[in-house]
Amino acid sequence: MTIYEVAKRAGVSIATVSRTLRGTGPVAAKTREKVLKAVEELNFTPSRLGVSLAEGRHAANGIVFPTLGGPYYAEVLLGYEEVASELGRSVLILSAKGGSNVREAVKELAGRVDGLVVFGRTVPGDVVAELAGMPLVFISCGPMAGADTLRCENVESARVLAGHLRGHGYRRFAFLGAPHTPGDDISERWEGVESVLGGAVRPVPTAEYTVEGGYEAARKLLRKKSRPRALICSGDEVALGALLAAEEYGLAVPEDLAVTGWDDIMAARHARPALTTIRQPMRELGAQAARVLDELITRPRPERHRTLPTQLVVRSSCGIHPQEDP
């Protein structure tokens, strides 16, 4: 089913069919009738490949995740898809998974879209270099040359959180889920926390930023008698794992041990004690990324770097303030 068959049936040229369907150029009312009738009868839909080839654009854009695991990325995708969809662009996704063939996969993806949103540090630098020229937005990533970036605020909110915890009177802290790669979100969180707490806090790495990772690291930490009074976790999932470990050791949270998270994923609200955490506007991050990318595609402009505000959400896992007691 091609435009030729429609044209033949309607007794016009393919050019006229195209004009009729796209509303570009003039078409006599009578001719339009005939064409639409033929389109209807043949149930014709223009080939996307043909359209893209002729238009010189895909009307689609992609997004590259480090992984699709965990609630964090799902929220970002939700915001992204919604806006991209509104803007009339299809959405292609790719999960890097630390897989070996990321290079190929990213290049393949790039060939199918007009622009790409990439989570910070998921794609090797040289691959990024090959993508130069294509509209690119890095998210969850600090300002860098050569592309727009978009992230959630980390340092300042980390300071607020640390200050809040010190207000509870705690003196010894651990930062659970310490940074592996410099420059990412986690690093900034650590930076902010340390700037307030100084020597009172020490970084404790986890194998992964997951419940399992948090659990294992917390077990080791809580076993010792010289355990910290408060666990500042670099992510909610890590904090959830820490909660599990505390429970196992019979430590009451927050009475014996304070625990805080980051991101405000769904489970943070439903855990008991409910997690004090920093809410990131994840959906908004995705939505903004889609908008910025669309701008970039529509008309190139100098790069811009934006930071979205975050918010401390105080629940019960961090401690009870005197004025909160009845």
Q: Which residues bind DNA (CB under 7 A)?
A: 1-4, 11-16, 18-19, 21-22, 24-28, 30-31, 44-47, 49-51, 53-56
Nearer to a second copy, 240 or 278 (CB): 240
Select from a second copy, DNA, none the partner in contact with residue 314, using the beta carbon and a kind-dependent cut-off of 5 to 8 Å.
none
196-229 burial, b at 16+ Cβ within 10 Å, e below that, comes to bbeebbebbebebbbbbbbbbbbbebbeeeebbb
- What residue 15 binds from DNA, a second copy, none (CB within 5 to 8 A, per partner kind)? DNA
Query: 3-class SS at 231?
Result: strand
The residue among 45 and 323 lying less far from a second copy, judged by its C-beta, is 45
Q: Does 251 bind a second copy (CB under 8 A)?
A: no
To which H or E segment does residue 83 belong?
helix 71-86
Token reading at 42: 């043949």
> In the complex, what is the shortest distance from the CB of residue 85 to a second copy, in angstroms, rounded to a whole number?
7
Is 186 in contact with 209 (CB distance < 8 Å)?
yes
Q: What is the DSSP string of 117-144?
A: EEETTSS-HHHHHHTTTS-EEEESS---
Report what 69 binds from a second copy, DNA, none; CB cut-off 5-8 Å by kind.
a second copy
Task: Choose among a second copy, DNA, none what residue 212 binds, the Cβ cut-off being 5 to 8 Å by kind.
Answer: none
> Residue 311 touches which of DNA, a second copy, none (CB < 5 to 8 A by kind)?
none
Task: Answer yes or no: are the C-beta atoms of 210 and 70 closer than 8 Å.
Answer: yes
Distance (Å, whole) CA 58 – CA 222:
54
119, β-bridge pairs: 139
Task: Choose between 179 and 254: whose C-beta lies nearer to a second copy.
Answer: 254
Among 162, 240, 282, 318, binds a second copy (CB under 8 A): 240
Nearest to 158 by CA among 76, 256, 233, 269: 233
- Tokens representing 257 are 């041990």
When binding is defined by CB under 8 A, the residue of 4, 15, 40, 85 that contacts a second copy is 85
Binding flag, residue 226, a second copy (CB under 8 A): no
Question: Of the ranges 77-85, 138-146, 185-193, 294-302, which one interacts with a second copy (CB under 8 A)?
Answer: 77-85
Tokens of 184: 């990412």
Tokens 């990439």 sit on residue: 118
Nearer to DNA, 54 or 266 (CB): 54
Which CA distances in Å does 269 have to 33, 161, 174, 265, 279? 58, 17, 22, 8, 11
Nearer to a second copy, 123 or 240 (CB): 240
Say if strands 230-233 and 258-260 run parallel, antiparallel, or are unpaired. Answer: parallel
Helix (H) or strand (E) holding 149: strand 148-152
Q: Shortest Cβ distance from residue 246 to DNA (Å)?
A: 57
14 binds, among a second copy, DNA, none (CB under 5 to 8 A by kind): DNA
Nearest residue (CB) to a second copy, 107 versus 180: 107
By CB under 8 A, residue 271 contacts a second copy? yes
Whole-number minimum distance, CB 326 to a second copy, in Å? 15
Give the helix ranges, DSSP H, for 117-248.
Answer: 125-130, 155-167, 185-197, 211-223, 236-248
Quick one: what does residue 171 bind among DNA, a second copy, none, with the CB cut-off 5 to 8 Å set by partner type? none
Chain residues that interact with a second copy, rule: CB under 8 A: 43, 45-50, 52-53, 58, 60, 68-69, 71, 73-74, 77-78, 81-82, 85, 90-95, 97, 99, 105, 107-109, 111-112, 130, 211, 240, 243-244, 265-267, 270-272
